[in-house]
Amino acid sequence: MTCRYGAGVPRIAVFFLGGTISMAGHYGGVVAWHGGAELVAAVPRLGDLDVTLDVRDLRRAPSACLTFDDILELAAEAEACDADGVVVVQGTDTLEETSYLLDLVWQLDTPIVLTGAMRNPNLAGADGPANLLAAVLVAASEQFRGLGAVVVLNDEIHAARYVRKTHSTSPAAFASPNAGPIGHLVEGAPVLVAQPPPRLRLARPVPPIEVAVGLVTVTLDDDGALLADLDSRCDGLVLAGFGVGHVPATMAPAIGVLATRIPVVLSSRIGAGPVLSATYGFTGSESDLLARGVIGAGLLDPYKARVLLRVLLAGGADREAIAAAFAQAGGLAAG
């Protein structure tokens, strides 16, 4: 589907994967329904923009059902289509993970912008049309070249590496607790307000991705039973520890043993702020776990740490390469 042709008019490829933005139905709840052409046609002002839209339907699914392979295949197709900008429309449930996966493996300087909606088209104040319009505007903007993947909802622009879904229903669900938005839509124009540091760019692994990475959240009075034999089921593990990266003292020895067998990455379950490396000294503290061979995730939250570890393992990275990648992606290295 095309909005407008013309010399020098940016061509924006829009990939539809489904999600709330595309949902319809009255009895028993909404399901992914509308295709890309219908959704684009329903956006006021989109047809007036000086862009050519190349609309592609890849999936019609809730984002809970998306896979790494889906996103890697999308990345390959999006790179091959040689557009001036790319928009990915999907459900918001996994947007913080898919956007970071794309950020890591996107080989081009072309803007790649993810969006979705918190309210389905049946609801008053549905946010899908505004989000889709904003995403196309950002994808067509020169300011966002070379910045990797960004997420656009609610007139805010977030770097994929920082963005989190922080509310289950609010249209203002997406936020970057460690950085704030890198831009805004102001009177219909994208404005970049903060340039993120250079991103980590990795070779795109070829599907199918067969490495398994577990994510275990540490909880009060945790006896570590979930860790038993984990190395027989997982190629790597992300721990979401307390606060700055702590676990009960009773868990520490088992974690140390696991870290000799598979890469174990330590992140914080808090949702904002880093894991530390040299502040606490008790058994089960961040410094104790690092001494046992665990790798710190810095500012990366557990979900993003799991995405990074899985991409690294799929690419055959060894422990040293994994530690180096987390040191860079974790964002704490002194500049």
Residues with catalytic roles: 20
Q: How far apart are the first and last CA of the chain?
A: 45
| Binding-site member from 3, 16, 49, 63 for ligand ASP (CB under 6 A) | 63
Q: How far is the CB of 198 from ligand ASP (least distance, A)?
A: 30
Candidate segments 62-70, 231-239, 286-294, 298-306, binder of ligand ASP by CB under 6 A: 62-70
What is the x/- site pattern for ligand ASP, positions 11-50, by CB under 6 A? --------xx------------------------------
Q: How far is the CB of 275 from ligand ASP (least distance, A)?
A: 28
Q: How far is the CB of 32 from ligand ASP (least distance, A)?
A: 7
Contacts to ligand ASP from residues 290-319, by CB under 6 A: none
Question: Contacting ligand ASP (CB under 6 A), which of 91, 245, 284, 330?
Answer: 91
Among 60-68, 101-109, 123-131, 243-251, the segment contacting ligand ASP (CB under 6 A): 60-68
Indicate the residue whose CB is closest to ligand ASP. Answer: 91
Q: Which stretch binds ligand ASP (CB under 6 A): 4-12, 88-96, 193-201, 301-309?
A: 88-96
The contact mask relative to ligand ASP for 114-153 (x = CB under 6 A, - = no) is --x-x-----------------------------------
Among 92, 99, 115, 178, which residue sits at the site for ligand ASP (rule: CB under 6 A)?
Answer: 92
Q: How far is the CB of 51 from ligand ASP (least distance, A)?
A: 24
Q: Which residues bind ligand ASP (CB under 6 A)?
A: 19-20, 62-64, 91-93, 116, 118
